[in-house]
Structure 1
Amino acid sequence: MSYGKKEFRKRLLILTVLISLSFLVLLGRLWVLEIIQGEKYLFLARNNSIRLLPSRAPRGIIYDRKGEILARSRPSFSITIYPWNLSQEDLAETVKEISPIIGVKEERIYQTIEESQSPFNNIPLKEDVDLKTATKILERKLSLAGVDLQVQPRRYYPDEELLAPVLGYLGEIDKDQLQALRGRGYRLGDRVGRDGVERVYDEYLKGEDGGWQIRVNNRGQRVGTMGHKEPLPGNDLVLTIDRQLQQVAWDSLKGRPGAIVVLDPNNGEILSLVSAPAYDPNLFAGSLSQEKWLSLKGDPLHPLTNRAIQGEYPPGSAFKVITTIAALERGIASRDKSFFCSGTFPFKDRVFKCWKEEGCGTLNLKEAIIHSCNVYFYQLGLETGVDNIVDFSKEFGLGKASGIDLVEEKKGLLPHRRWRKESLSRKWFDGDTINLSIGQGYLLVTPLQMANLIGAIANGGRLYRPYLVKRIISPEGETIRETRPRLIKEVILKKKNLDLLRESLFGVVNEKGPSGRRTGTGWRAKIEGIEVAGKTGTAENPLGEDHAWFIGFAPYREPKIALAILVEHGGMGGKAAAPIAKRIFEAYFNSKVGEKKSRKVEE
């Protein structure tokens, strides 16, 4: 009997311990549910009936200077899913049914849900679906648990690649950007400007999101609306760009790689900025595939590079403008200064050549510019000296960024004695000066820098900061910001020197020989009724055929337009670039005539 009682007590003790342990486990589980995960389950409980659907604000419209739309937002259907309170069975049924409708594999849908960085928010399954697909989703609304059809603004660029270097493109905000911008109304999933004016003026363009507060059933299906906040559209931009002129410039390149910058020399407004080849920014309006992104990045023609501000090239003979100014201002040259050109210039252990093999004969300064004689400028450059040439290059903005309202502008390379010593551990030689005097050697410039340079020559020495945005306008139509011309510096030049240079540049396009035939290297830029001045350039390229340049302005006496044209591997500037300048000048002045006639009719 005693043994039986002991056994009973032993078993009772074990049972008590087991019950206590079970109770402790239960308490632990309740503690985890209430304390550790309580907030999550409270959120799920509440949101089983109420949910907030964000409504993205449309970005502001971007216009050209004449009111033509360059970028806008259009309505777009997006398919989303809210899987967080669905049973595994409901989710499986929904995924199986929606997969063939939207053309996305089931595995990919599950992967999208698993990789979502926005828990408890709707997850996009497919963006910008067509009306037919959207209708199918609405017809199956009752059987597609957790699925919602949303109408969201989607960025649209009607001219595709034409204005990509100016406008840029959008991309989803990354973690670093979000960290920096969270306090300014940005959030995960936002699409922000990644390049061009879309990036520089993103905070003006973005607007303020709204949303819908909706009631849903236990299968995540919308059954009612409890509230709505209208999104506020972003501000509009009015650019300095003339879309029609941009089209003419783009078409003039005829598919060849290159860049064109056209500006108003009297204020720095950019009228056209072309970089070819380019990309279609509509590709980035939605989710760009990794394959397409790698294809763009790896394209040997570099369509993502804005050649107008990021392409760095030797300017060739277009740089003779600087050599001339340096020589005149330092009193080393004058109108009558002459040199003889036999076609070659032996110097120490090297022979430097002129582009004209038979030579140009004896020339004065004006004739040397008109005929772009290299041998003349070799000798003029040696007498002027590298320091003087570099000084005036800096005066006209070479070797540094212009400050245009775009990102990642390159500053080129302006070589000098100290640079050579620090970068190459070698001293500067006279041969380097010879190369520099005709825009070769280590010297690199961007097309924008050359447009700014010739613009300053056109207007008498005033160097303006180039800009793209004229005005920013609120959704109510009020101007909230207007860009005013900003003078970077005024280069003080003797009037007689500037007049001689401008006269010579006029001769490059208009000079005639005894037979009446035009003899200047830039004669192909001449147009009837408008006096054009300019300078050609043919830049040696160690990687292939020479690059072609033309810089110029018009009208000669009262300049309204200045430009720089670069055709990669185009050969001689007079043949490849000057005809493009002619087409742009004609388009510009013909449009001005049309505007005057239109105003007279209205009056």
Structure 2
Amino acid sequence: MRSLKIAIILLLLAAIIGCTPGGEVLEVEETPEPTLTLPAPQVFITPAPDVNAAVDAFMEAWRVDDYSGMYRQLSEGSRAALTEEDFIARYNQTAIALTLLFDNGITYQVLSRTTEPNSAVASLQVNYNTNLFGTLTRQLEIPLVREGDGWRVEWHDGLIMPELAGGNQLEIVRQSTPRGAIYASNGAPLAAQADAVAIGFTPGNLNDSLMSLFYNTMASLTIYQVDEIREMLEAAHPLDYVSLGEATQAEINAHLSALSSLTGVYLTSYSSRFYFDGGLAPQTVGHLSYISSEDLDRYLRMGYSPNERFGATGLELAFEDVLAGERGATLYLKDANGQILSKLGERPASPGQSITTTIEPGLQYRLQQSLGDFRGAIVVIEVDTGRVRAIVSNPQFDPNLFDINNQNFVYAQNPYNVPNDPVFNRATNGQYPLGSVFKIVSMAAALETGTFGEYDQIYCDHSIVACGNVLTDWTLEKDVPPSGTLTLPEGLMRSCNPWFYVIGEELMAAGRPDALIDMALGFGLGVPTGVEVAEQPGNIPAQVTTCEQNVQLAIGQGEMTVTPLQVAAFIAAVANGGTLYRPSLIDAIGPEEGTPTLTFTPEETGSLPVSDVNLTIIQTAMREVITNARGTAHRQLATMRYRPYGKTGTAQNPFGISHAWFAGYSQVNNPDRPDIAVVVLLENAGEGSEMAAPVFRRAISLYFSGNTDIGWVLPWEAYPYVVASPTPYPTNTPVPTNTPFPTETPVPTETPIGGDVDEPEE
């Protein structure tokens, strides 16, 4: 404005001054008006939050049971009205009542949505996928409110399920189902519901004049023999309660007359799942456990009852769904006062199916009593089918002691906490170096690659230089003469370490570093066998990079480990001509009454990568291990009445005394009694020929004699099935009259004409 005034004044002055005497008007140049320029206006657009993203985040958290994540997406008002703990509890209780699946228990589809500036509603179809009630489908209307930069859920009870609006609740009423039994091959129960009695005694309350009756009665009712019970009594304090085990009510009834005469003996009845004979093959049959507080919600969602037991190990675990049956339940909707409004779902219960195993109870029981105090395993398997006839893991445990209904449960130590872990299944999960039994595999590799032939020879000395190192033979440690010149089969018969060091060295020199590995894998080592219970694969090295590694592998040492079951499977294949069968513990599965739903069929898993000619050479050498006067198992097995083949093994152990192995098979050709392969492992027991071979003899002898031929008294036994006491009892200690199986006097071994028997290997 000031500029405009100045311009007008200047114009007036110019008009006055510009008038000349001649009347001319002077022109004055006009100053232009300044131009004002305003900046262009800026428009800021704030995008509306994505309703679908908010709904998806809430529902995805629900789908994976992330209840805390769901709670964080509630509006401020919803969170003020409900604590996170209560929110989580409501969803968890619903999941339990519905028995929601853990994977995709909740699935959903957004049907529609309406959005206002500060509020929205999403319509969803929600599927509740359950273990017991199938799929329940509901439509949810989820209200959302805009807070800050996003949408938040305005929560109420009806967002769990529409029926729960207004304080309604779900209630599940569960129905128990009878658990299927587990039977031995002859139909005898291994695990079944039964009326049982826990047995124990207090030494100070026993009647001294009735001790003979006490010992014999207790031995008749339990797995212990008289001398063992006497040892337990002498080790206890007079007022101690000594747990002896359990018996069925029927067995107790058969001894009522004797029991009524005894003082200091305690009998406590209970009814539960009972494992007969103190547990036959307990690591393989398995045991039941109670649901822990930490796992309770998970098992309730699966349909279990709070006090129900479940399979924890062995067949009980592997066939939990089969044995437990289909759990039944009814799902009710109740109002806030507990009145039933409606029934939302129902499933009837159906009993579990029973399992008949391949285990022969008489053989299993006697072999369990044969290993004494050694940690170890025995596997007996039919060579032409893969049926497992006995499977022993030592030490043993009583699976009845996991039952709180059993009075002895209170006094027993948890088997998982006992030294040497008796619950651990050494037959399927123990992984050990195989030692000289692996020489069967190495011999096969030498023959199949053509590196050596049947008639090739080396001089088997006390030591040999291989891969630049001096390596020794077992004959040096045993202080016996060297084995001398041997063919390859004789090298196996004599278990000559130098022969197999040479095989390992020559395979490397010939550019065949993988030959031993490939052959081991071809024999089924380093991979699970496929047996029905949990197992470990062992370890066969992926490769060997040095000559030293290969010569150690050739004698079954170094990084390689195997399970006794794997060895039994490949020994059976050697016996039957080369077919690997999947070891099986199951003969049939089905209802107690009716047609089985599954019956055993042999299943081939492969063939040994060995020609018929070379396999015959190996078989012949395994026979010579026993029949040849210089064979490493001749002393122990030459007089067997059942035709055996085998291989001794002593596996070096960096943590103590060597492990003792024996692996072999029978060739009896009895149409009524299939031939078997038997593998014995004794941890830290020393020589395979001295310690494991006698157990092999017992297993074969029992099997073919109907359990009447014990083979021999084992090196650690005072008499059959009873471990020799460190302090021998007087010679007039009676042998228990209740010995549950006949025994026989061992046949003495005769030194064969024409030569002495050499010491066993390694």
Cα distance in 2 for residues equivalent to 1:369 and 1:528: 21
User: 1:293: Cα distance to partner?
Assistant: 9.6
Distance between the aligned counterparts of 2:638 and 2:284, measured in 1? 29
Q: Secondary structure at the match of 2:276?
A: coil
Please say if 1:317 is aligned against 2:440.
Answer: no
Aligned mates of 2:404, 2:439 — CA distance in 1? 47
Structure 2 unpaired stretches of 5+: 1-156, 158-163, 198-245, 250-268, 331-346, 710-762
Q: 1:491 aligned to 595, 599, 608, which one? A: 608
Shift of 1:230: 11
User: Which of 464, 473, 480 is the aligned partner of 2:581?
Assistant: 464
CA distance in 2, matches of 1:76, 1:497: 56
Q: Which amino acid aligns with 2:546?
A: F
Q: What is the Cα deviation at residue 492 of structure 1?
A: 4.3
1:262 touches 1:561 (CA, 8 Å); kept in 2? yes
Match of 2:536 in 1: 410
Q: Which amino acid aligns with 1:590?
A: S
Q: Distance in 2 between the 1:332 and 1:349 partners?
A: 20
Amino acid paired to 2:371 = L
TM-score, structure 2 normalization:
0.54
Deviation of 1:525 after TM superposition, in Å, equals: 3.0
Q: Structure 1 residues 183 and 472, CA, compared in 2 at 3 Å: closer, same or farther? A: farther
Q: Is the 8 A contact 1:343 1:359 kept in 2?
A: yes
Sequence identity (%): 33
Q: How many residues align?
A: 451
Any conservation in 1 of the 2:437–2:661 contact (CA below 8 Å)?
Answer: yes
Per-residue deviation at 1:384? 2.8
Larger RCO (CA within 8 A; separation ≥ 6): 1
Residue 498 of structure 2 corresponds to: 375
Q: Which residue of 2 aligns with 1:72?
A: 192
> For residues 166 and 468 of structure 2, what CA distance do their matches in structure 1 show?
83
TM-score (norm 1): 0.68
Which stretch shifts more, 351-360 or 499-508? Answer: 351-360
1:551 aligned partner = 663
1:343–1:292 distance in 2 versus 1, CA, 3 Å: farther
Of the candidates 499, 523, 537, which is equivalent to residue 649 of structure 2?
537
2:705 counterpart residue number = 590
Which residue is 1:136 aligned to? none
CA distance in 2 between counterparts of 1:544 and 1:565 reads 19
**CA contact 2:272–2:405 (8 Å) conserved in 1:** no
- Residue 200 of structure 1 and its aligned partner are, at CA, apart by 1.0
Tell me the amino acid that sits aligned with residue 296 of structure 1.
P
2-side partners of 1:206 and 1:452: how far apart?
Answer: 31
Matched, 1:504 2:621: yes
Shift of 1:546: 0.7
1:70 partner SS: strand
Matched, 1:258 2:385: no
Counterpart amino acid of 2:420? L
Inter-partner Cα distance in structure 1 for 2:472 and 2:609: 34
Q: Is the 8 A contact 1:259 1:308 kept in 2?
A: yes
Matching residue within 329, 351, 359 for 2:448: 329
Separation in structure 1 between the aligned mates of residue 523 and residue 486 of structure 2, nearest angstrom: 27
1:348 positional shift? 5.2
CA RMSD between the two structures = 3.6
SS state of the match for residue 577, structure 1?
helix
More helix by share: 1
Contact conserved, 1:240 with 1:469, CA < 8 A, in 2?
A: yes
Cα offsets for 1:320-341 (capped at 9, x unmatched): 0000011111111211111112
Aligned partners of 1:265 and 1:560 also within 8 Å: yes
Query: Larger deviation: 473-482 or 317-326?
Result: 473-482
1:384 counterpart (482, 507, 511): 507
1:155 corresponds in structure 2 to 273
More displaced, 553-562 or 527-536? 553-562
1:210, CA displacement in angstroms? 7.8
Code of the residue aligned with 2:503 in structure 1: it is L
Structure 2 match to 1:190 = 308
Q: Are residues 184 and 416 of structure 1, via their aligned partners in 2, closer, same or farther at CA, if it must alter by over 3 Å?
A: closer
Deviations 1:439-496 (A, max 9, x none): 0111111101110111111111111111111101213232121131111112342221
Q: Does 1:399 align with 2:399?
A: no
Q: Which amino acid aligns with 2:541?
A: P
Structure 1 residues 155 and 557: CA distance shift in structure 2, 3 A: closer
Cα distance change, pair 177–456 in 1 and its aligned pair in 2 (3 A): farther
CA distance in 2, matches of 1:350, 1:404: 41
Structure 1 residue identity aligned to 2:367: A
Using the TM superposition, give the Cα deviation of residue 510 of structure 1 relative to its aligned residue in structure 2, in angstroms. Answer: 1.3
Alignment of 1:570 onto 2:697: no
Give, in angstroms, the shift of residue 416 of structure 1: 3.7
Greater alpha carbon shift after TM alignment, 568-577 vs 282-291? 282-291
Q: Partner of 1:246 in structure 2?
A: 364
Deviation string, structure 1 residues 276-326 (Cα, Å, up to 9, x no partner)? 012211112337999999853343312121101111110000000000011
Partner of 2:498: helix, strand, or coil? helix
| CA deviation after TM superposition for structure 1 residue 55, in Å | 6.7
Structure 2 CA distance for aligned equivalents of residues 291 and 351 of structure 1: 58
1:453 equivalent among 562, 565, 570: 570
Alpha-carbon distance in structure 2 between the residues aligned to 1:76 and 1:454 = 41
